[in-house]
A and B are shown apart, each in its own frame.
Chain A
Amino acid sequence: MPAVVIALLVAVAFFLGYRFYSPYLANKVYALQESFVTPAHEFRDGIDFVPTNKHVLFGHHFTSVAGAAPIVGPAIAVVWGWGPALAWVVLGTIFASGAHDFGSIVVSVRNKAQNIGTLTQTVINPRSRTLFLLIIFFLVTLVNAVFAIVIANLFMANPAVVIPIVLEIPIAIIVGQIIYRQRTAALAPSIVGVVLLYASIPLGRAFPIEIDGFAEMVGVQPRTAWVVLLFLYAGLASRIPVWILLQPRDYINSHQLFIALGAILLGIIIGMNEIVAPMLNRDLPPDTPNWFPFLFVTIACGAISGFHSLVASGTTSKQLDKETDARYVGYMGSLGEGSLAVGAILATTAGIAIVGLDWNTQYATFGDAAGGAVGNFVQGVAGFVSNFGIPVEIGTIFAALVVISFAATTMDSGVRLQRYIFQEIGEIAGIRVLKENLNLVTVVAVIVPLLLALDPELAFGRLWTLFGTTNQLTAGLALAVIAVWVLTRKRNPLAQIIPLAFLLTMTTWALFVQLGDLWAARDWLLLILDAVIFILAVWLIVEAVLALRRAQAAKQEAPAPEPDRSGGQE
């Protein structure tokens, strides 16, 4: 089947979801009121609380939620065939992510734009705040570890991308100096930055950088050497003020996001390439875990991502002009993220054939599928862009450059976030040195995920699964908050409870099965991590059930609430 047909069918499904399911959520479940005074109006200060046009807000929201993670999961999950991966992305986006992202905005808007961390405390109970912090801690640890490995794998597979990626740092710094110090309009320098970056691709091809010799000299695997170097970079980058590197690089990344999306779409349309992967892979490699439940934790971002609730409730809700805009911003943001995941599925099932790769060889084992997932995506995108005349060699570096740019930004901000968490832990535990010594806490924030990434027994697929489960748990916590809120408003919470129950079942099941696998593999580090996350999952289930029961009891006792047309907390 041509990839373009799948793209069109998905577009129709997403349209139907937006046209018919999102109005159901808006009218029957969240009961949005155009006249409701949103926090953006109630606390209007022009700084944090700014009523914002819904199209502007969608741009802010979508670029925040779109990144590298919706690429990795789908690129692994096609090992079960493109059918299950696509079905979960489409159904998850329409019924789970849509309800989750949209609902996170609504509940936050109805509670003075409080973020999801605070809402877990106020809507569920104070204990849940600790649960939230613990889940975020493991989530960030795993994010840093998996992205270090993703980048290391891409560097090893594409040594020609190393120079462009290294050059991106001074390019971004110069762009930042021009934008921030000279207060120049950002468009021209950032576009010149992108042009310079892409112009460095031939240089990268001429001087590919491999560190096999260096790795051999110090007696480690090349991947280990790359991972250590990447964490060294992330640690140093996280100590630099954000306006020096992180923010200016984002001017380049924001262009790259739309260039990459446009290039993939154009390539799919022009090429009319056939999907070469099986719809349902009946000849699974022996090391592949069962698709049920592992498909649903392998694809987290792209089907549903708990991280979105942080953006939805932390920033977006403060800018919502009309409550009814939440449908457009939140639900459409989910559809945008789902589209990125569909692009990843098509690149790894149709695009890779264009460059002459044999799908069965690329997905010969689950280890190959997991370890080579992003490499396959990069090759697939190179195939698509070759449909409009970009040589495959150039296209490969271009795609790797885009993915690594996003992943490096994630690592930079991930280490910063990890540092904050350790400082918080330091404060709670009374360890002043951890709270006050930024260098020490940065080292700790780097070492924890580094140990994971350097686990000698590490199978990337298992690490990714753990990342997916923690992301799903974050989503579960947000869905529990939304479900309790909906129930206390005397409305039907099934739109949240069904995805919540499904997610929690799949995550705990996957974690339980993986406990046995890790025990058999004697991978003690991941075994401990899996066990801890399993306990968190059970804790979350208990909290969700208790909160829903309390809400159900309160619903039966309390009179129906009057329609609320004023702002403020409910």
Chain B
Amino acid sequence: MATHHVILVREWDAQHTGSGCCGRVGGGVELCDGDEFARSRTEMERVGGIYQALHAAFGDQLDLTVVDPRNTMWLLPTVYRAARRRGLRRTAALRTMARSTANGAVVLDGKVLFDGKLPPSPVEAVAAVRAELTTTAGGA
């Protein structure tokens, strides 16, 4: 049973508002296997490496969520509530919430471990999560 929640923030390729009604591009129709979304794809694969490393290192101890930064209706309140649960004041929680919307951000239980500016390697991400868990709860 997961006791900690890690949010990995990155765009889904081929996702954009209204794309399903009408004008989807991307792999959805098997016509668009080109490199339109190559940049997003690279980011997806990079974050995918972190995802796999965290899953391998912590298993079910971590609840891993990959979310698009445009999914603000879920991302913002979730990070804000988690930040408040950590005891952050409202302004600090709001700052945390805003920082969590970066492509490549890694958020653990309401704390932004990586804000996307310097994307971590899978090893760095695992080490950061392990250190944080050890500090806060004597976890992993």
Contact = CB atoms under 8 A, between A and B. Distances in A.
Interface of A: 44-48, 50, 52-53, 55-56, 59-60, 63-70, 115, 117-118, 133, 136, 139-140, 143, 179-180, 182-188, 241-243, 246-247, 250-251, 253-255, 257-258, 301, 305, 307-308, 310-311, 313-315, 337, 406, 409-414, 416-417, 420-421, 424, 471
A66 B32 contact: no
A68 B24 CA distance: 13
Given A186-B69, A416-B36, A410 B102 contact: no
Nearest to A249: B16
B17 interface: yes
B23 A410 contact: yes
A53 B119 CA distance: 24
A186 B101 contact: yes
A251 B70 contact: yes
Contact of B31 (A46, A63, A420): A420
Given A183-B116, A315-B14, A420-B32, A70 B70 contact: no
A63 to B, nearest CB: 5
Contacts of B104: 183
Interface stretch (B45-53, B85-93, B131-139): B45-53
8 contacts: A60-B68, A117-B31, A187-B72, A247-B11, A311-B19, A337-B21, A411-B23, A420-B31
Interface residues of B, number: 61
* SS of B interface (majority): loop
Contact of B16 (A187, A409, A414): A409
Nearest to B51: A46
A50 B21 CA distance: 24
A113 to B, nearest CB: 11
Contacts of A133: 31
A424 B33 CA distance: 11
Contact of B22 (A50, A115, A188, A410): A410
Contacts of A55: 74
A134 to B, nearest CB: 12
A186 B18 contact: no
Of the candidates B17, B24, B47, B119, the one having the most CB atoms from chain A within 10 angstroms of its own CB is B17
A310 B36 contact: no
A413 B20 contact: no
Contact of B17 (A63, A241, A242): A63
Contacts of A301: 21-22
Nearest to A55: B74
B36 A242 contact: yes
B67 interface: yes
A410 B18 contact: yes
B98 interface: yes
Contact of A179 (B21, B27, B103): B103
A68 B17 CA distance: 10
A546 B98 CA distance: 55
B6 to A, nearest CB: 11
B68 to A, nearest CB: 6
Contacts of A251: 69-70
Contacts of A242: 36-37, 39-40
B37 A66 contact: no
A63 B103 CA distance: 18
Given A185-B101, A254-B17, A311-B20, A413 B51 contact: no
